[in-house]
Amino acid sequence: MSGVGEIRFIGRVESAGDTCTLVIDPEYCPALLGVENYSHLLVLYWFHLRDNDEHRGTLRVTPPRHKGAPLTGVFACRSPSRPNPIGLTVVELLRVNGCRLDVSGLDALEGSPIVDLKPYSSRADSVPDARTPEWSKRGPPA
């Protein structure tokens, strides 16, 4: 049994770009059963290049990819510099081939460890009337 609070990476981003390949470690492949029935997944991954004291100590940033954004707390933006460098992206699942998943829309870098995968649920994960600050609407595409 693992210790409390321990994160086990389940795989890694093998290739990044328009189409990305996620490789799930063999011991976790049985957990992919049925994933092909979903068009989209939530991918939680580790910002491995930000896993150091400097970036983990960052609590406020001015989001550089959002013109005119104010100084904001990292919990109020999507900065990769944060106390726990966990990224989250909704991706389109293109193909499942054994322990390999081809996806589009992933903003992780090659080599990023994968923390978890969850199926996207339009019933549970979509909030049509969600409120966001104006500056967040002027950034790059989601």
Q: Domain containing 43: what range?
A: 7-47+85-120
Question: At which of 66, 84, 102 does a domain end?
Answer: 84
Q: What secondary structure does DSSP assign to 54-90, as a single string?
A: HHHT--EE--TTSTTPPPEEGGGS--S-SSS-EEEEE
Query: pLDDT tens digits, residue range 48-77?
Result: 999 999 999 999 999 887 888 899 999 998
Are 73 and 89 part of one and the same domain? Answer: no
Are 12 and 75 part of one and the same domain? Answer: no
Question: At which of 84, 106, 136 does a domain end?
Answer: 84
**Residue 141 maps to a domain:** no
Are 71 and 90 part of one and the same domain? Answer: no
Report which DSSP code applies to 18.
S
pLDDT tier, 142 (very low <50, low <70, confident <90, very high otherwise): low
Give the span between the Cα atoms of 70 and 77, in whole angstroms: 11
Residue 74 backbone dihedrals phi, psi, to 5 degrees = -65, -20
